[in-house]
Structure formats: structure tokens, C-alpha cells
Amino acid sequence: MTKTALNTYNKQSAAVLTGDIVNSQGLSDSEFSSVIQLLKTELVQYASKYDGHFDLFRGDAFQFVTNHAHFIMNILVGLRLALKAHSPSVDIRVSAAVGDVSYRNTEVKTGTGQAFVLSGRALDELKSQHIAFTCSSPSLMRSTSLLTQFADNHLSGLTQTQSETVLAYLMCEEKNHDNVAVLLGKNRSNVTRILNASRYKLIADYLHFMEQEINASVQEM
């Protein structure tokens, strides 16, 4: 069978992230290069972990797709915290969506399907918010929309140090303060103080809730 362009497409239910860097034009060339390199490094790691694919385009924009849809908010929050923890600290606007997709592994930005449409549309509709989650399931939207707005507001208020510490906690397989302290090379009591001030358990609980709700909804699709 001849391998045509159409044959190279993956057609499946998946989750898509569409995002861009906030105020990237205010960065110097060296700062912008550093931020883009970090973003690419993070995307490569998430692609490896969750069998995903991504594209960087238009200078400061990106798309990421994975068929492990229930982990999509973990990826979204992880990306945002990593960039907020970076020096210079930057923020992103990013929209997650779940649905059918069709795309080439090497050209995610040309992907089509429900998740790509919903993700791009929601990003365009973001005003003062930085994150969004959308899908075609009314029940899933009812259970997640308001919580995502609260999570967005909470994440926006985190400092650079808080973002770094919360991200380290979320990335630890053994989630305890001692391991976070070792990972960051910081005093345990200082790590505990920062985590508590960050209300890190609210973030972890939100991600766990989203993982369960998305997984249940995907099983019904």
C-alpha cells in the first residue's frame, strides 16, 4: 500500500493545548531565546512522558497533542509553572480541549478536528484569564468550568519562587516535603513554608479532580 499524506495522519480522540507567551515582545532577544528554549525542553519532556507531539510557531505560540487526555491539565499547569519559575519569569495563555483530532506527528499545527477547533477558539476568547478547558460534554463543562477559573486565578497569584516549589512538588513521584527540599537544594522548613503559602494542596486536588472527570468523560465518548 502506498503511503500517502493522508495515511500519515493519526485519527483518534485526544487532548490539545494551544497557547502563547504573554508579552513576549517585551523580552530582550536573549531573554526570549531562553524562554523559548525552556518551553521547548518542557514540551519535549511531556511529549516523551505522555506519547505526545507538539509544534512551536509564530515565534511565541505552540500546540501540543496527546491521546492521554486525562493528563492534559497536569501538562498545562506544569508548563505554566515552569515558565513562571523561569528567570525571566513569564506567563502563558493556554487553552486545553478534548475531542476528536486528525494530525501528522511532524505537523501538529496543521491538525484538524474537534479538539483543535475548541482549543483554538477558547484561546481566542481568553480575555483577563490565562487558562481554559473546553470539550463537547455539557456535564463535564458544568463540573469543571468554575473550578478552572478559580485555579487560573490562584496560579496567577503565585510568585516565581512559589511556582518553582509547587512545580517541584507536583513532579515528585514521592510527594513529600523532604523530597522537594532535596530536589531544589533548599531547607525543608523553608520548602514547607513556601508550599503552605502557595496552597499547594488546592492545586494538586484540582489536578486530581480534572484527571478523574476527564477520564470518566473520555470513557463515555
Mean pLDDT in residue range 31-56:
96
This prediction has a pTM of 0.92
CA dihedral 113, 147, 72, 32 (to 10 degrees): 100
Burial class (CB in 10 A: 0-12, 13-18, 19+), 110: middle
Contacts of 166 (CB under 8 A, 6+ apart): 81, 158, 195, 198, 200, 203
* DSSP of 46-103: HHHHHT-EEEEETTTEEEEEES-GGGHHHHHHHHHHHHHHSSS---EEEEEEEEEEEE
CATH 1.20.1630.10 fits 9-158, yes or no: no
Distances (CA, A) of 137 to 32, 36, 37, 144, 204: 38, 34, 35, 11, 24
DSSP state of 113: S
The pLDDT value given to residue 3? 34
* % of the chain residues with pLDDT over 70: 94
**Paired strand residues for 10:** 103
What is the mean predicted confidence (pLDDT) over 162-166?
A: 98
CA 82 – CA 86 distance, rounded (Å) = 6
- Asked whether residue 2 carries a pLDDT value surpassing 60, the answer given is no
In this structure, what DSSP letter does residue 173 have?
Answer: S
For residue 55, is pLDDT > 80? yes
Sign of the CA dihedral with 110 first, then 111, 117, and 119 last: negative
Which residues pair with residue 111 across a beta bridge? none
Per-residue pLDDT, 12: 67
The pLDDT assigned to 101 comes to: 87
107-153 residue pLDDT tens: 787 888 899 999 999 999 998 999 999 999 999 999 999 999 999 99
pLDDT at 4 over 60: no
